[in-house]
């Protein structure tokens, strides 16, 4: 049920964004139990004029390697689950792709289950 959007600066490696997405999906599976095959992602790379961020907001020193992750998912996860998800994503990006911890920005957007339609004009999760 999550919809993942990843935004980052254009990379020299054409596989980089896809690898970021794969690590996020693995983190979603392990940290909050997202089912197998429930993988919907939009991966976007931007030039300098279309990727704007504050490099020091809240005292966190960000670089041009910032990865912005927005995950829309059904509501109901505990604070502990969310914290585990953040930690799992950041640690996997750091260890697997050498992304600095400071360069991972995550935003969760929780919605009610009736706000999803996976096709056919049907709200599959509506009770």
10 Å Cβ neighbour count for 27? 23
10 Å Cβ neighbour count for 40? 13
CA angle centred on 124, ends 122 and 126, rounded to 5°:
100
2 is annotated as an active-site residue: yes
Residue tagged 């896809």 (tokens): 18
Query: Which of these is catalytic: 2, 14, 35, 55?
Result: 2
10 Å Cβ neighbour count for 66? 18
Which residues are catalytically annotated? Answer: 2
């Amino acid at each position: 049920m999550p919809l993942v959007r990843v935004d980052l600066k254009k990379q020299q490696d054409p596989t980089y964004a896809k690898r970021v997405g794969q690590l996020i999906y693995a983190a979603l599976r392990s940290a909050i139990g997202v089912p197998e095959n429930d993988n919907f992602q939009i991966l976007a790379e931007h030039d300098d004029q279309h990727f704007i961020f504050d490099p020091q907001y809240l005292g966190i020193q960000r670089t041009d390697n910032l990865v912005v992750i927005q995950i829309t998912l059904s509501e109901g996860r505990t604070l502990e689950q969310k914290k585990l998800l953040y930690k799992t994503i950041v640690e996997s990006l750091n260890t697997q792709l050498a992304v600095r911890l400071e360069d991972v920005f995550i935003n969760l957007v929780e919605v009610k289950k009736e706000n999803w339609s996976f096709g056919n004009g049907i709200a599959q999760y509506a009770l």
